[in-house]
Amino acid sequence: MAAKEKYVEPTYLECGFAELDHKVVQPELCCLCGNCISFCPKIGQKDRKPTLLEYDPLCGLCYAYCPRSFFDRSHFEEKLFCRSRGVDETLGIYKTAAAARATPAKGQVQDGGVVTALLVHALETGVIDCAVVTTRNSRWQTGPRVATTPEEIIAAAGTKYTITSSVTGVQQAMDQGFTRIGFTGTPCQIQALRKVQLLDEPYQFGQEKIALLVGLFCMENFDYPRLMQGLVKETFGLEPVDVERFEIQKGMFRAISKGQAKEVPIEKTDEYLWKGCGPCFDFTAELADVSVGSVGSPQGWSTVLARTEKGQGLYDSALKSGAIEAKAVTEKGLALVKRLAGQKVDRFDRNAERMKSHGQKFDVKR
């Protein structure tokens, strides 16, 4: 039987916040992307969980667009790429894979500074009229920002390894009147916004204004209070304000402070993980216009997968303008990305039992 015949989406009236709460929030499957909080005025956030502010018996927006309620990947691939992936396409569909870096990197970028360079280029060439980015304060507390200048995009460079409801910035951008909104974020956030764009549900709240999705590779993310207390303060003996940079490289989680690195093997950080990251099968933000990550390329470079026409066009234009430079990604580099992507799917499979017991449906056949 074809995947499509087996797969039935709940209609928008079948499931509402009660189902979301029962199937996603209470079992700690929520990735706190911010989708439901953004686009439904009756949902807020309390104790780092979506919470109902006002009951509405006729609305199922939150459940429909949640990336953890149900997800038919091949359906979205068919809509986005006009085909679903072949069996060998374990990183999803893409047109170009390359190692790239900004020339020169602007701001305190994490790897090759490609995300920042692509967003600045998109803004300067009119592909977008703002970019929703994730910023931090001196204590590494994070939040979304609607960046409208290159300087504001540059100020958000660098990875923050803590869960952030960045999608709420898209609603802020809509409220501010922007009509070509660029967004960068983790795979769950990209899934959330693609679902908003591509699902056959009759909600209209301005999703046509989302113009560009730049995805980040992501194996996992962390809970701010636990990471800062348990790892940064107790294990590393640092205050968050002392940390200049966090990085995960070669199996180590590292904090750099005053030029000195404190590190632990990544397995020792399990207790600080955000629980809702377990049930995620997407390492490379497979539904983004263009995906960017660290693994697979040398230090100071980023691995780039240009996926859609729009993503390829932006990548080509940034190359042509000299905003970025690129070289071939090696076979070994690509094999490493594929290995990590496979590990994430394996972890999803282990968590799938927990999800199935709550009735969610996911089509992520390999």
Instruction: Report the interface residues with ligand FAD, using CB under 6 A.
Output: 109-116, 133-134, 142, 156-162, 164, 166, 184-186, 216-219, 221, 248, 292-295, 302
Helix (H, G, I), strand (E, B) or coil at 37: helix
Q: How many whole angstroms separate alpha carbon 90 and alpha carbon 79?
A: 18
Q: Tokens standing for 352?
A: 């799938």
- Residue 54 or 346: the one with the smaller Cβ distance to ligand FAD is 346
Q: Which distant-in-sequence residues (6+ apart) come within 8 Å of 66 by Cβ? A: 20, 24, 30, 35, 36, 192, 195
CB of 81 to ligand FAD, least distance (A): 22
Give exposure, 193-219, as e/b (b: 16+ Cβ within 10 Å).
bbbbebbebeeeebbebbbbbbbbbbb
Task: Output the smallest distance, CB 335 to ligand FAD, in A.
Answer: 14
Return the closest-CA partner of residue 203 out of 12, 70, 15, 21: 12
Pick between residue 15 and residue 153 the one whose CB is nearest to ligand FAD. 153
Cα dist. 272→162, 223, 267 in Å? 10, 6, 10
Of residues 69 and 164, the one with the C-beta less far from ligand FAD: 164
CB of 8 to ligand FAD, least distance (A): 32
Q: Which amino acid is at 12?
A: Y
**Smallest separation (angstroms) from ligand FAD to the CB of 348:** 15
Q: Which of 16/144 has CB closer to ligand FAD? A: 144
**CB 136 to ligand FAD: min, Å:** 8
- Minimum separation from the CB atom of position 273 to ligand FAD (A): 11
Q: Whose Cβ is closer to ligand FAD: residue 52's or residue 216's?
A: 216
Nearer to ligand FAD, 5 or 331 (CB): 331
